[in-house]
Amino acid sequence: MRVFQCGAVLGLTGLLAATAAAQINYGDFSGSTVDFVSVTEDSATDAPPLFGPPNVSGDTLDFDPDFLSQSAAGSLDSTIGTLALAIEAKPGFAVEAFELRESGNFSLTGVGTSDTSATVSTPVFIDVTEIDGVSVSPISLSANMVFTMGGSYNLADDGPGTNLPWSGALDVDVDQLLSSEGIVFATGATRVEVILNNILATTSEADSFAEIVKEDFKITIVPEPSSLALLGLLGLAFNRRR
């Protein structure tokens, strides 16, 4: 399912500002038709690395993260991992569309109610800053990744259980974003900047335990999906930032 999904993330500006001190720069990675450049990670809550250094295969940048949120005996916890990068098309190519995919597991055990919970959310911020090789004022989009069961799990409805799987996805049609803005282009977007905040959170009660773990994240460049282009933005909720 391809979705542009919006929503305000309270306090996100403050979280982004708080991450500046611990940034790790992994550098640039060359794919088949694009380069992933200035790949950095940060955290407002924990000492990085959380995502860890990526690998590239074809036009996929793949991370093997190792971070979690964990709560027991009436506590609460949150872990925020921030990832930023730019995608630059190689000569003769464009960033027509890309996919974000991530997955992990959660555990909810003990005696409790829906107040024992584990959640995952990932707001994503996208700026197109170059079209047909020419720099432009940013054309911006904010969206949220879409998760199994809404990304919110609790002991009463989803447990007890350990190492239960979750997954999330977001598909971004860059060509359609440009067309929706009335922009005429020859090749398409040649530089796209992406920032995402992966937020894991848990709460527990006196006799319960909650944990959520992030195990995989990847970004893959894909050709513009013709079926989505025909549909346009019908049914896709998106929020442009100017």
- Count of CB atoms situated within 10 Å of the CB of 47: 8
The confidence score (pLDDT) of residue 2 equals 29
Decide if pLDDT at 187 tops 90: yes
The confidence score (pLDDT) of residue 121 equals 98
The confidence score (pLDDT) of residue 57 equals 98
Q: Indicate the pLDDT class of residue 22, thresholds 50, 70 and 90.
A: confident
Which comes out higher in pLDDT, residue 237 or 67? 67
Dump pLDDT digits (tens) for 33-88: 999 999 999 999 999 999 999 999 999 999 999 899 999 999 999 999 999 999 99
Contact 7, 144 (CB under 8 A): yes
Dump pLDDT digits (tens) for 161-172: 999 999 999 999
Distance CA 131, CA 129 (A): 7
Q: Indicate the pLDDT class of residue 238, thresholds 50, 70 and 90.
A: very low
Point out the least confidently predicted range of 1-5, 36-40, 198-202, 212-216: 1-5
Distance CA 78, CA 71 (A): 9
Decide if pLDDT at 106 tops 70: yes
The confidence score (pLDDT) of residue 223 equals 86
Average pLDDT over residues 13-36: 76
Which comes out higher in pLDDT, residue 239 or 1? 239
The confidence score (pLDDT) of residue 224 equals 63
Q: What percent of the chain has pLDDT over 70?
A: 83
Nearest CA-CA partner of 98 in 47, 162, 143? 143
Contact 38, 85 (CB under 8 A): yes
| Structural domain spans, the chain | 67-79+91-222
The confidence score (pLDDT) of residue 234 equals 34
